[in-house]
């Protein structure tokens, strides 16, 4: 194996362990009077993690006052209040339930004009750089090996940008959009380069449906056909898996 893997009995236990790790990092930064820069993901995989972070806030007093977060991606175009918006997802699952300051979370803006996108993406990366980079990046993985919306073919040094979604990605998303014809064709995603520059990366994958792509990413060659395989070249990346997702390793 070319990427460290940690396998849990189930995704609930795994999500709790990752939440503990994030809590420890936030608190370590608090003691140093520093912000904790988190890269956050959407999709079904991090839902249990966010639920556990909310619980740690409500029941154990974990504060997010020093957290500054940058989400990986957003569909384009997308209204922030729409049911499928990643802004809404993050607010409903995490931001509205913890004490993170509204000015401290960032989700790519799905309402930009085409002309604004390039400058916006440049600024998104500049903000991350000004803070010294991402301390911990949470990732899910698409069935085709995409990370964020860095689809197959994305380069290892790719920047934050507007991308065309793969057909297979749109098919997977189409159930949320009541059909393929309503499913966005494009998205804004953090580039692979900023993901690779994160000091630590934790990728979450659950279920047997992810077993093949996990195996390819962890054990097969590094290739831009499977962007998650780039993580083999990261010095502090781990795949946190349930038994089913690890079954082909």
Contact residues toward ligand GLP (CB under 6 A) are: 41-45, 72-73, 140-142, 148-149, 169
What does the buried/exposed string (b/e) look like for 139-151 if buried means 16 or more CB atoms within 10 Å of the residue's CB? Answer: bbbbebbbbbbbb
DSSP state of 185: S
Closest by Cα among 67, 74, 75, 78 to 39: 67
Q: Which is nearer to ligand GLP, 69 or 169 (CB)?
A: 169
Q: Is the dihedral of CA 214, 149, 128, 80 positive or negative?
A: negative
Active site residue 115: no
Q: Which is nearer to ligand GLP, 26 or 40 (CB)?
A: 40
In angstroms, what is the minimal distance from the CB of 172 to ligand GLP? 7
Q: Which residue in the block uniquely carries the two structure tokens 């820069």?
A: 37
In the set 151, 197, 219, 244, the catalytic residue is 151
- Integer-rounded Cα radius of gyration of the chain: 17
| Total residues found in the chain within this entry | 249
Q: Which is nearer to ligand GLP, 25 or 188 (CB)?
A: 188
In angstroms, what is the minimal distance from the CB of 65 to ligand GLP? 26
DSSP per position, 3-40: SEEEEESSHHHHHHHHHHHHHHHHHHHHHTT--EEEEE
Give the C-alpha separation, 129 to 249, whole Å. Answer: 35
In angstroms, what is the minimal distance from the CB of 188 to ligand GLP? 11
DSSP state of 77: S
Cβ neighbours, 10 Å, residue 33: 7
CA angle 225, 231, 232 (to 5 degrees): 95
In angstroms, what is the minimal distance from the CB of 158 to ligand GLP? 15
Q: Which is nearer to ligand GLP, 62 or 241 (CB)?
A: 241
First to last CA, the chain: 8
In angstroms, what is the minimal distance from the CB of 187 to ligand GLP? 7
Q: Which is nearer to ligand GLP, 66 or 246 (CB)?
A: 246
Which positions are catalytic?
A: 151
């Amino acid at each position: 194996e070319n990427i460290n893997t940690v396998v849990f009995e189930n995704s609930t236990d795994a999500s709790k362990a990752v939440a503990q790790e994030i809590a420890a990092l936030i608190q370590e930064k608090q003691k140093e009077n520093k912000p904790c820069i988190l890269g956050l993901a959407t999709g079904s995989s991090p839902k249990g993690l966010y639920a556990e972070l909310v619980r740690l806030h409500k029941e154990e007093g974990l504060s997010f006052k020093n957290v500054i977060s940058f989400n990986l991606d957003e569909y384009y175009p997308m209204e922030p209040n729409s049911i499928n918006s990643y802004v809404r997802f993050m607010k409903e699952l995490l931001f509205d339930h913890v004490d993170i300051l509204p000015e401290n979370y960032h989700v790519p803006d799905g309402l930009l004009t085409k002309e604004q996108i390039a400058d916006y993406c440049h600024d998104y990366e500049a903000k991350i750089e000004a803070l010294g980079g991402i301390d911990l990046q949470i990732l899910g993985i698409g069935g085709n090996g995409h990370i964020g919306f860095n689809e197959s073919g994305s380069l290892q040094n790719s920047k934050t940008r507007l991308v065309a979604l793969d057909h297979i990605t749109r098919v997977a998303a189409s159930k949320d959009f009541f059909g393929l014809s309503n499913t966005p064709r494009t998205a804004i995603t953090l580039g692979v380069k900023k993901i690779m520059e994160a000091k630590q990366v934790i990728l979450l994958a659950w279920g047997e449906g992810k077993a093949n792509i996990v195996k390819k990413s962890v054990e097969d060659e590094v290739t831009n056909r499977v962007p998650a395989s780039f993580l083999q070249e990261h010095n502090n990346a781990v795949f946190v898996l349930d038994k089913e997702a690890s079954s082909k390793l």
